[in-house]
Structure 1
């Protein structure tokens, strides 16, 4: 099972996105020593992004599989300890580029509640700038780029009057250790995402959101109740539910569907059940962007592409 997970990650997630991680994940999928060490962890803790991020956090090499193997074996007690207490919390502000068209089309102003918020970087879609091909929206920094197909773009970003995030382990952008973990989770070749992380963190630090520690099924109703009157509540999440067991996903969907306002989901294909989806336009890993349970578009996991359903 673990070997297959790493082999699939190499092909579906990393190919043409991160040659380093494609090569590394493929090697781990055939490495009986590392697979044996990973077998001592709970199944949810064996995922490639968590292992690779922890090794990078500890200063280990990821560019060459043989060096990675030697480091991981030599430092396995430290790696295992970190993997047991950490979760993948990639906080990619670029995902706001695929959320923006839906958010801007809703009645304004908005009260945003992000589930799986990490450090809250995706709670500021109104503060960033965007470029879709040759079309610009907004004037903020960082500027988030996204290839958009079959989409009428908004004239301006949404108006947000309240923002709150829910996470099992909220991160603080002013804490160097938390920023270090977010940096370690960015794939090796993606220097543009590292620069974007720092720029987005500066936006968040200037006006921190309300971040609450809690479970995605139990906590949303009480947090949603704090949204100001007169604002349209939008509960949203991106690349979160694949970490949640299926029964809890269903429970979460039932809870969020019962809240006032709207629900935006941006999750990997197959994570949430939809009646029908068009054929995927390309190979590789795609997410489904949905509004109130209705699928609207294919997206790439870091917000780099949005393909609207016709």
Structure 2
């Protein structure tokens, strides 16, 4: 069943998320919003999912998997000289009609788990800031970890437009970002030590599994070749650095994950662009669990998309609560602002 606001969700996606980032998805989003048959197909997504990302990802997935159709001629991820996006809709609609059953199965079964490794460019300064406050090795717990790429932020190197390189000097993954505004973080010469890394997700993506790898790749927009390259390099890093990934409800499992972490470690719970998929009661439950844990032990919570799209750092030290705005961030980590003192 098509919900009344599904068409507007596609229009909003095209206008605010795709504009100046994906000409193909911007154009298709507006056209899908006007097509009842395609909206019915897209509406098979489970509750809480960002439907435009999921639906367009499903088509991209089938094309990357090798489905032969003229639609692929419009995808920069599939051909060197793609055709004009403004002429893509007839082919797109035809592809969806021919493959409607497979698309429906994907939309019903899959969830959006974009592992945007460039977001580590703003995570790294925050983790460095936390270590500066506590001088304790970090115990990382990521909710909505997908394949765990962000748990390895200390294995990457970084630059912020100043000519200097920070992070891991021997990294194969190099992330660039821009710090906007007048404030900049203090980036130490040495990386903060990481004591443990645990990721939780309703569905863990195993990068050694070809289907999981392809699905994550299909969620990267067709024009974003640099993102695809970074994803592939970061995937190799995950394979070389095994991490603890647990399939389950991260909010419900959080107390048991925190339990047993020694006092000499700083507990860091974090998640990026996951809160928007949580119902209101789940968000409240998560914040309540963090607060309850903070009454008996120090804990840091780094997140966005709960109250708003900004990046926040709430934490408890000696049972005292602190709430801080880290700054604004571009969705894929291309830039951020810094407000932490």
Consecutive unaligned residues of structure 2, counting only runs of 5 or more, are: 75-87, 315-322
> How much does 1:221 deviate?
1.1
TM-score by length of 2: 0.82
- Cross-structure match for 2:244: 210
Residues 201 and 25 (structure 1 numbering): CA distance in 2 closer, same or farther, change over 3 Å?
Answer: same
Is the 8 Å Cα contact of residues 111 and 232 (structure 1) preserved in structure 2? yes
Give the aligned length.
Answer: 294
**Greater mean alpha carbon deviation, residues 61-70 or residues 134-143:** 61-70
TM-score by length of 1: 0.89
Is the 8 Å Cα contact of residues 143 and 251 (structure 2) preserved in structure 1? no
1:1-310 maps to which residues of 2 (within 5 A)? 1-45=5-49, 47-59=51-63, 61=71, 63=74, 64-106=88-130, 107=134, 108-134=136-162, 135-138=164-167, 139=169, 140-149=171-180, 150-155=183-188, 156-259=190-293, 260=297, 261-267=299-305, 271-272=306-307, 287-292=309-314, 293-309=323-339
Aligned equivalents of 1:122 and 1:226: distance in 2? 23
Aligned residue for 1:165, secondary structure, equals strand
> How much does 1:43 deviate?
4.7
Is the 8 Å Cα contact of residues 45 and 84 (structure 1) preserved in structure 2? no
Q: 1:245-283: per-residue Cα shift (whole Å, max 9, x none)?
A: 11111111111233342100033xxx326xxxxxxxxxx
Aligned equivalents of 1:144 and 1:256: distance in 2? 30
Q: 1:109-143: per-residue Cα shift (whole Å, max 9, x none)?
A: 10100000000000011110001012321222211
Residues 177 and 227 (structure 1 numbering): CA distance in 2 closer, same or farther, change over 3 Å?
Answer: farther
Consecutive unaligned residues of structure 1, counting only runs of 5 or more, are: 274-286
Which structure carries more helix by proportion?
Answer: 2
Q: 1:204-245: per-residue Cα shift (whole Å, max 9, x none)?
A: 111211111111321111112243552111000000011111
Residues 227 and 202 (structure 1 numbering): CA distance in 2 closer, same or farther, change over 3 Å?
Answer: farther
Aligned residue for 2:250, secondary structure, equals coil
Aligned equivalents of 1:89 and 1:46: distance in 2? 10
Residues 65 and 43 (structure 1 numbering): CA distance in 2 closer, same or farther, change over 3 Å?
Answer: farther
Aligned equivalents of 1:265 and 1:227: distance in 2? 21
Aligned residue for 2:267, secondary structure, equals strand
> How much does 1:96 deviate?
0.6
> How much does 1:65 deviate?
2.2
